[in-house]
Structure 1
Amino acid sequence: MTTERLRRLTPEDLDDAQRAVYDLIAGGDRAKGPQHFPLLAEDGSLNGPFGVMLHAPGIGAVLQDLGAAIRFRTDLTARIREIAILQVAQAMGSEFEWWAHERVGRAVGLTDDELLSLAVGGFHSDDPTENASAVFCANLLSSNVVTDSEFASAEEHLSAEQMINLTVLVGYYRTLAQLMQVFVIGVPGRNPADPADHHHAH
């Protein structure tokens, strides 16, 4: 049975550098407004990738800020952002990312049918910008290459800034998924070794 490989750090465990990262995550933009998934466990430790970041505060501080920029400081619509994150979660088989962002996705208007299509890797949108975004991200996730024709197709509906934002978003959430795979971080309250109860493909 595989369990989490890192000790969960509670507030009283933290040194000054770790505390600074903790405060950025627990007290920043993520903590404002509705909480679609819990950042904090009952003991005050951070859930998901955020708990991992505390163990390497030098990189954790920068990573969490990049995440906040992707979440709160781009020109992507909330739906496009969450569609892209769920595409990464599905492609990486990331249980935590899917669990967390399925909730955020519902809150920004994704329907059951849309979530199901994302879960099986076959999302399509009638909105041309959303669809171009999803195709662009699918290309990145399936081959790491965007061909000239794929780029030209994306360029019809997406600005250079949007393509940069999506490319960085995919890389960031891939990085978080990889961190959670390496350190066996699962959904809060569920043993990572238990069979998953979600329906997305790995």
Structure 2
Amino acid sequence: MNPRIPLVGPEGLDADQKRVFDAIAGSRGHVVGPFLGLLHSPELADRVQNLGAFLRYRTRLGARLSELAILVTSRAYSCQFEWFAHEKHAREAGLPDGVIEAIRVGRRPDPMLPDEAAVHDYAQELLEKRQVSDDTHARATAAFGVPGVVELTALVGYYTLLAMTLNAHRIGPPNGEAPLPVAP
């Protein structure tokens, strides 16, 4: 499937696009996926990448739990690029293969560590029901504190923004890979 919009590359950028492109490349090492579309609006791309730099690398959740929330979000939106980009990071961060595979095929992982269950259930419920129950919220708050739950909510929202951007504009993984099966 081809993208619906031209993807912005390093050539032919105006000054604003170049500044943001270089900032993204500097903090992430490369410019891929949603940013190749978002760069059509350099100010938006810049604001999105700044928020993402915090949510991806600096929350109280740490890499393993952040990647878990990202995979749950990717699965909820059947976002091929997002899954492709983060499955490897999740493994590297220590998320067990069984947890990753269960999410990939649309099942609740079992077993999970208590902190993984708190993140999974919070993200899944928020994505499915657009809210969370008192019990789910209380378990996440007990595990991560109020600041951690606020950051978890923002992380899910941020990767929802990216998934919507990728899906709406059909920005997929390289070589047309499709690591996610059709949503259950």
Q: So what's the TM-score if we normalise by structure 2?
A: 0.91
Contact 2:99 2:112 in 1 (8 A): no
Residue aligned with 2:155, SS: helix
Instruction: Find the aligned partners of 1:112 and 1:199 in 2 and give their Cα distance.
Output: 17
Instruction: Find the aligned partners of 2:166 and 2:56 in 1 and give their Cα distance.
Output: 19
Contact 1:90 1:121 in 2 (8 A): no
Given the alignment of the two structures, is residue 131 of structure 1 paired with residue 130 of structure 2, yes or no? no
Structure 2, unmatched stretches of 5+, are none
Q: Counterparts of 1:96-111 in structure 2 under 5 Å?
A: 96-111=81-96
Deviations 1:70-102 (A, max 9, x none): 112211121100000000000000000111100
Which residue of structure 1 aligns with residue 133 of structure 2? Answer: 147
Deviations 1:104-144 (A, max 9, x none): 11111223212111112312454222221211111101101
Deviations 1:120-177 (A, max 9, x none): 2312454222221211111101101122233223222221111011100111101111
Deviations 1:12-36 (A, max 9, x none): 21011101110111111x22xxxxx
Deviation at residue 7 of structure 1 after TM alignment: 1.6
Which residue of structure 1 aligns with residue 97 of structure 2? Answer: 112
Residue aligned with 2:107, SS: coil
Instruction: Find the aligned partners of 1:148 and 1:186 in 2 and give their Cα distance.
Output: 36
Contact 2:73 2:160 in 1 (8 A): yes
Contact 2:99 2:109 in 1 (8 A): yes
The CA RMSD measured in Å over matched residues stands at 1.8
Contact 2:60 2:144 in 1 (8 A): no
Instruction: Find the aligned partners of 2:26 and 2:179 in 1 and give their Cα distance.
Output: 31
Instruction: Find the aligned partners of 1:154 and 1:111 in 2 and give their Cα distance.
Output: 20
> Do the aligned partners of residues 15 and 184 (structure 1) sit closer, same or farther apart at CA in structure 2, a change above 3 Å counting?
same
Q: So what's the TM-score if we normalise by structure 1?
A: 0.83
Which residue of structure 1 aligns with residue 12 of structure 2? Answer: 13
Which residue of structure 1 aligns with residue 36 of structure 2? Answer: 51
Which residue of structure 2 aligns with residue 78 of structure 1? Answer: 63
Instruction: Count residues with an aligned counterpart.
Output: 183
Structure 1, unmatched stretches of 5+, are 32-38, 40-45
Higher fraction of helix: 2
Which residue of structure 2 aligns with residue 42 of structure 1? Answer: none
Contact 1:132 1:158 in 2 (8 A): no
Percent identity for Structure 1 against Structure 2? 36
